[in-house]
Structure 1
């Protein structure tokens, strides 16, 4: 803020105009927001707020008081939503200061109040995709070291979804940061300076939050907000319970405090009664197949790996055949949290099997969801008082579809279908309530009138009739006055400024009767009124105003009745989402020839003739070929637990790794998979270390990031995990990288026993198959021709004979001279390495590739190797040594 504007804003209130005193009071109460101050038909911004808004919204910056140079800009109130969303997406917080009374009836300055504070986590963004959630998160830390507990709460205000979790122990903060990185809320609340009353150093706080770069808005709150004495009573009050144990928070105080802090923020930002936030669910990460943020990103489950790519690279895009917005969000959530409950997985697979095998009933089910709109978000808009008449009729249209959907669901008799149908509330009474109250085609705004059906309120019907008859009476007055005055062009008209009037052209001014009262003079006409016209004006305007009051009252009562049933609607929305998800899985399984996996409690991972679901679909859509199926066999209990995969770049190693993970995720979601056959022992967590990236802002190189991710795997994987490691150790010197990769494979094999797919260019690692009984070598195949190599994309047993890196470089377009020289250097090193490999194998250590900078030529090495040491005389040995020395110096 400039010195001048700061002085103007902080000056004596007595020197400010009444309106600016109101602005000053509102701004003092909300200093960290951009204040949209309603003045007539505009929202105005002043001082530094105006400078920021003009810059971000590309508005013209003007001045309210040129003498004091008070910056000012504004937006029309009827178009404010667009501007507000642009600011919110940039991470700003906005306070809306509304006029609380009619300016025409106000005595003195119009009373104004801040009615709501909009933030990225509390605003209903109309551009939000149907499949996306808009999470507001809060985090709290209690204790330290081994007694540390971290609580997280998540709220999607648009749907009412409210859940919380908690982590404890020395790794609690790391797990918390990882969970927030996976969920990626749009706004995060935390205690300023102190997280939950524990004094962490600024460095620790910075490091903790630095890993959450995807969260665009981080909002600090006062420390007392994150105390049990304040937060927990808020929870009990909101849910009207005496104990939080029934919400699953017994023994989870940190999670409860985080949830209570969220409710405090909702109240502080004036988000309404929150009737649709009618439940809190405590969840454990261990209750599902755990996927950390790194794995979610590497596997491209819901977002492409690179920002410039389309959604077509994601598993969500490939599997999204849902018919409803609720189903789409459930699909996204299920991919991020696949089940680890064997009974639930089997129930879903049985339901999918029944529906996928019956085209008629499956399509009838999906057709029944055609008219189902976003029930959760319509309810959210209703609860936040942002739903107009047309949103309510959209809600009715959705409710009208529910009996048909219930009937279609009952056509199936698998246990999962029966559970969804039993107790399914089709909400027919709510549909009747809306249909009999709201007009068939209501206006957009309640203020436009005509929202309530005739016959609902006798007084409203009378007032409407009076308005209609009044208009007829005005037409009769116009005709009578034309005849009385002889002025055929005389007109009776209305506008908001002058009300009802008689308009006569200047040419007919002499024929105006003496009982006409002049109201306004125009260039070519005169406007008049009469006592009779005044009476009709009073009756009609009074009737319209009273009609508006009655319609608002009836509409608000309807809203209250619907919100009283918010719990019923949310439960029905949950069931619709599950029905849609199962229908989606069945549709895809039948359409794409997917098969039912066998999921059990063992340590197996076997698929035969499997395809990568995303790559296969992209190949089909582009028409560029067909996917080559591959197979995997892993067994953490009896068979090979580590598959070491070698072969050239572009051969398909990374695709093979990702394919294994995606099929596991699909199977544990309860979906069929693209394979001839699949057998899976439940996986507790998937770990991935794929690709190279750095984080320069945090001082972490590519290799440091790689080692950090690898450390997380080795420190927390179990024998029921699935580990995918691709090209580990390539970010450092050959000796270091190969040694680390060698030791990592041994640790995974000997200590952890996790099912592991390890892709590498270090051919020396293939020697481990002779030492580790549960390690098996695989290779991606290529075909060598006179013109180069052809990638076959098939995986078979055995180590690769060579890496073909130079051939891949040739395909990439490196100059021919570089390729030729590289082949020469490669031959020298291969000959030098052969002896070293033999010696290293005898000592059970990895053989090290010779570096390009060795001073020994291959010819000297070969001469030494060929010498018969026992047959040399001392003189001959000295002569040979002198000769080699001269050659080295040369």
Structure 2
């Protein structure tokens, strides 16, 4: 037993001391080994064998778990996706030439927010690292950085209302990791972790505003940040500087593809907070069961990864400036009207690789040969894409086409340098094309002819010695050798020099073989080193082209989105909305873009007329399951789609610009913070009432249902009165309720209107017609819904008895004026008026026996019957 750790383990302990919160992958030969507690975590999380070897500092057996280095990326990705930080400690010198212990250094720190390798990125979506820095009292600067693409932007958020603004940004952009200062004492990190964000504490000095300002200017090659819109946002600057520094330190790279940032101020876009994004299922399902039921899934038929990311960006940040919205709609309409060009473009785009992420890997230095080959193929398609557009397309399409640079130099360079079918990894070798480098060709020929010489030598020795089973083999310890089996040892020539005894025979060598071995080995080593050097120089050359590649990638993404939105509109019958700077929302035959795709029967469309000065608040009553929630969500989604630049699922839509969409839908306990369903409801309601503007759209579904009927009804009524106010205009509001007393508000508040969803009630059954009509109702048909849900008949029958008893007690002694105007659609029965004569005659007609003039005369007579004019006078 040694007196202390081995030199290699001393290296390990040194690295672990620098990264105590990371899992250290320590390269030892062909494996990455983990030790101690790290090994226990790796064995548990990756389900691999935990062993022990040697002794740790305390003299105990050292736990050990390792993975093959060639398969490490998959294991690392699994750990990082579980929220762990992985520290890669590689051998940085050749073990063959090293004197003493092989030198090792940390080459990269991989965290959830700094993934860049294509094998570790799970999807084409953006992959953000978030940084949070205190700004002024109660305000925080926010920065979002996608290391894989170089996308970088800042924002801000308040700590008020439980960090609602910050949480909304988190839900909007879905960062995988957030960094905060080490001294950060706010409870915000705990809130972020409940949302699935890995929170890492980073040294305080990285968040220093002056240092961050200087570091950002150095990165962007500027002397000021005025051009990026954040010069007066110290918190945002501090967050951006910390995010950049953290990414550079973890990547062990200056990340030259990060060349600037943008400032996203909420006032510049429609505000969709976390609650609204969840309730309307914009990007994720309301219950988290995948993304298939979301608006994003319904619209995203893009052909490229760049387009998919752009589509999501459009959707979570709709525009509020009329001119900008109209420009996007012009681009979508052009593709909608030019079907052949749209289809041709989408076919071309389907062959595009993720140029943006390949550019990021080139800048970082870890782009593989296959990345370069697919990049070349994508860039070669650009002239074909540009050739599809003739005439004078709209401004945004022209801008995108102009931004697609001429990359003929890159295409030529990659074409001359990289073979047609290259390996995925540069370390595999064989990626440089013959003819690109004369010295490489010479070494490659030498290595190839050397191996041919070995084959010929083996045949010659078989013939010379008469040993037909003689073989020439190779291993790393002895190099090339001649192997002879035991039965043939008597035939071995005297000049053979024995090198090794095996179970089956002996291994020999001769001077000629040793000389050729040295030549071949030298050639192969020199070949491998030179090819790696040539490839590294190629990557350095391409790195200068990264800004142009990023511009092209953004342009491709925009064309992809415009054409995809046009494709969706053509497939599903969407129409271009009319955008106004008014308080009107007029929708004819509006549909829910997600629900209609999943129904086995045609979706029943509905009309909507809202405005700030007349029809401001719609009180919507009606049966459970009648479609109230779907209708209200459809209205909100039409507004969002219109302002993102999309056509909408309606026959006609006039959208007065909405600055913010608020929703209060459903009931969810916030168990993580110990809040009840009703408290969550009231917090969400408070957020709406405290931040609403006359340009907002509000969706309220069942306010006050989480408490007693009396309290709930009082709250709901007070909310309607508050939103109505005394001003001449107010926020457009859809208010669904089962508190039927609220329908009286139509008579006392001029901008409140009653609507309900019609049903057909046969007395024994109820059919939901899904159609909204003017007027109100005081029935909810809850017991009928309970029957549909499978509640035992004994329970529903008893519930009906109780309902009848309660209704009997409430009937007043004298006549009572009706409080509602529901159009009950009841099936005819006994006591119903006689069938209309026009219907009776229509049933008896035989069109096959009628002449055209007879048919015309009959039609005129039936019209008079229907209008009550009686028989035609002769």
TM-score by length of 2: 0.89
**Following TM superposition, by how much is the alpha carbon of 1:835 offset from its aligned partner in structure 2, in angstroms?**
5.5
Question: Are residues 1:455 and 2:435 paired?
Answer: yes
The 10-residue stretch of structure 1 (676-685 or 258-267) with the greater mean CA deviation from structure 2: 258-267
Match of 1:771 in 2: 748
Match of 1:23 in 2: 12
Distance 1:410 1:660 in 2: 37
Match of 2:174 in 1: 184
Answer yes or no: is the 8 Å Cα contact 2:189–2:199 preserved in 1.
no
Match of 1:241 in 2: 222
Match of 2:378 in 1: 398
**Following TM superposition, by how much is the alpha carbon of 1:510 offset from its aligned partner in structure 2, in angstroms?**
2.2
Distance 1:293 1:558 in 2: 45
Answer yes or no: is the 8 Å Cα contact 2:159–2:165 preserved in 1.
no
Distance 2:279 2:359 in 1: 35
SS in 2 for 1:502: strand
Match of 1:700 in 2: 675
Question: Are residues 1:433 and 2:413 paired?
Answer: yes
Instruction: Provide the aligned C-alpha RMSD in A.
Output: 2.3
SS in 1 for 2:341: helix
Q: 1:610 aligns with which of 587, 590, 606?
A: 590
The 10-residue stretch of structure 1 (382-391 or 798-807) with the greater mean CA deviation from structure 2: 382-391
Answer yes or no: is the 8 Å Cα contact 1:188–1:215 preserved in 2.
no
Question: Are residues 1:542 and 2:502 paired?
Answer: no
Distance 2:678 2:277 in 1: 20
Q: 1:715 aligns with which of 690, 701, 708?
A: 690
Q: How do 1:331-370 residues align onto structure 2 when only pairs under 5 Å count?
A: 331-370=311-350
The 10-residue stretch of structure 1 (266-275 or 588-597) with the greater mean CA deviation from structure 2: 266-275
SS in 2 for 1:548: helix
Answer yes or no: is the 8 Å Cα contact 1:354–1:412 preserved in 2.
no
Match of 2:132 in 1: 139
- CA displacement 1:93-150 (0-9 Å, x = unmatched): 1111111222232222111111111111112463645442211100011332xxx441
Match of 2:47 in 1: 58
The 10-residue stretch of structure 1 (228-237 or 467-476) with the greater mean CA deviation from structure 2: 467-476
The 10-residue stretch of structure 1 (42-51 or 66-75) with the greater mean CA deviation from structure 2: 66-75
Distance 2:706 2:373 in 1: 60
- CA displacement 1:544-603 (0-9 Å, x = unmatched): 111112211211111112111111111110000000000001111112111111011111
Answer yes or no: is the 8 Å Cα contact 1:324–1:374 preserved in 2.
yes
**Following TM superposition, by how much is the alpha carbon of 1:70 offset from its aligned partner in structure 2, in angstroms?**
1.9
SS in 2 for 1:312: coil
Answer yes or no: is the 8 Å Cα contact 2:132–2:239 preserved in 1.
yes
Q: Give the direction of change, closer, same or farther, for the CA distance of 1:591–1:255 in structure 2 (3 Å limit).
A: same
Match of 1:303 in 2: 284
- CA displacement 1:233-269 (0-9 Å, x = unmatched): 2111211211111222221121111000011212332
Q: Give the direction of change, closer, same or farther, for the CA distance of 1:795–1:836 in structure 2 (3 Å limit).
A: farther
Distance 1:829 1:789 in 2: 21
Match of 1:106 in 2: 98
Q: How do 1:66-145 residues align onto structure 2 when only pairs under 5 Å count?
A: 68-124=60-116, 126=119, 128-144=121-137
- CA displacement 1:189-233 (0-9 Å, x = unmatched): 001233xxxxxxx5xx22674266213310111222211132222
SS in 1 for 2:749: coil
Q: Give the direction of change, closer, same or farther, for the CA distance of 1:505–1:813 in structure 2 (3 Å limit).
A: closer
Match of 1:44 in 2: 33
Match of 1:255 in 2: 236
Match of 1:152 in 2: 142
Q: 2:259 aligns with which of 278, 289, 306?
A: 278
What are the ranges of 5 or more consecutive residues in structure 1 without an aligned counterpart? 1-7, 195-201, 843-890
SS in 1 for 2:285: coil
Match of 1:888 in 2: none
Question: Are residues 1:646 and 2:621 paired?
Answer: yes
Answer yes or no: is the 8 Å Cα contact 1:181–1:211 preserved in 2.
no
Distance 2:785 2:647 in 1: 36
Distance 2:258 2:487 in 1: 67
Match of 2:644 in 1: 669
**Following TM superposition, by how much is the alpha carbon of 1:73 offset from its aligned partner in structure 2, in angstroms?**
1.6
Q: Give the direction of change, closer, same or farther, for the CA distance of 1:840–1:65 in structure 2 (3 Å limit).
A: farther
**Following TM superposition, by how much is the alpha carbon of 1:684 offset from its aligned partner in structure 2, in angstroms?**
0.4
SS in 1 for 2:372: helix
**Following TM superposition, by how much is the alpha carbon of 1:275 offset from its aligned partner in structure 2, in angstroms?**
2.0
SS in 1 for 2:54: coil
Distance 1:29 1:837 in 2: 86
Match of 1:726 in 2: 701
Distance 1:651 1:88 in 2: 46
Q: Give the direction of change, closer, same or farther, for the CA distance of 1:447–1:128 in structure 2 (3 Å limit).
A: closer
Answer yes or no: is the 8 Å Cα contact 2:194–2:672 preserved in 1.
no
What are the ranges of 5 or more consecutive residues in structure 2 without an aligned counterpart? 820-874
The 10-residue stretch of structure 1 (478-487 or 356-365) with the greater mean CA deviation from structure 2: 478-487
Match of 1:635 in 2: 611
SS in 2 for 1:348: helix
Distance 1:398 1:652 in 2: 47
Answer yes or no: is the 8 Å Cα contact 1:100–1:112 preserved in 2.
yes
Match of 1:687 in 2: 662
Question: Are residues 1:329 and 2:306 paired?
Answer: no
Match of 2:602 in 1: 626
Q: Give the direction of change, closer, same or farther, for the CA distance of 1:63–1:336 in structure 2 (3 Å limit).
A: same
Question: Are residues 1:822 and 2:799 paired?
Answer: yes
Q: Give the direction of change, closer, same or farther, for the CA distance of 1:462–1:95 in structure 2 (3 Å limit).
A: same
Q: 2:197 aligns with which of 204, 216, 219?
A: 216
The 10-residue stretch of structure 1 (517-526 or 642-651) with the greater mean CA deviation from structure 2: 517-526
SS in 2 for 1:108: coil
**Following TM superposition, by how much is the alpha carbon of 1:470 offset from its aligned partner in structure 2, in angstroms?**
1.7
Match of 1:564 in 2: 544
Answer yes or no: is the 8 Å Cα contact 2:73–2:120 preserved in 1.
no
Q: 1:812 aligns with which of 777, 789, 794?
A: 789
- Count of equivalent residues: 813
Answer yes or no: is the 8 Å Cα contact 1:767–1:841 preserved in 2.
no
Distance 1:244 1:544 in 2: 51
Q: Give the direction of change, closer, same or farther, for the CA distance of 1:250–1:403 in structure 2 (3 Å limit).
A: same
Match of 1:788 in 2: 765
Question: Are residues 1:532 and 2:512 paired?
Answer: yes
The 10-residue stretch of structure 1 (117-126 or 713-722) with the greater mean CA deviation from structure 2: 117-126
Match of 1:887 in 2: none
The 10-residue stretch of structure 1 (406-415 or 507-516) with the greater mean CA deviation from structure 2: 406-415
SS in 2 for 1:422: helix
Distance 1:420 1:130 in 2: 25
Distance 2:279 2:314 in 1: 17
Answer yes or no: is the 8 Å Cα contact 1:291–1:336 preserved in 2.
yes
Answer yes or no: is the 8 Å Cα contact 2:417–2:432 preserved in 1.
yes
**Following TM superposition, by how much is the alpha carbon of 1:489 offset from its aligned partner in structure 2, in angstroms?**
3.0
Answer yes or no: is the 8 Å Cα contact 2:465–2:493 preserved in 1.
yes
Q: Give the direction of change, closer, same or farther, for the CA distance of 1:723–1:212 in structure 2 (3 Å limit).
A: farther
SS in 2 for 1:179: helix
Q: Give the direction of change, closer, same or farther, for the CA distance of 1:599–1:129 in structure 2 (3 Å limit).
A: farther
Distance 1:182 1:679 in 2: 27
SS in 1 for 2:767: strand
Q: Give the direction of change, closer, same or farther, for the CA distance of 1:496–1:212 in structure 2 (3 Å limit).
A: closer
Q: 1:489 aligns with which of 463, 466, 469?
A: 469
Answer yes or no: is the 8 Å Cα contact 1:137–1:154 preserved in 2.
yes
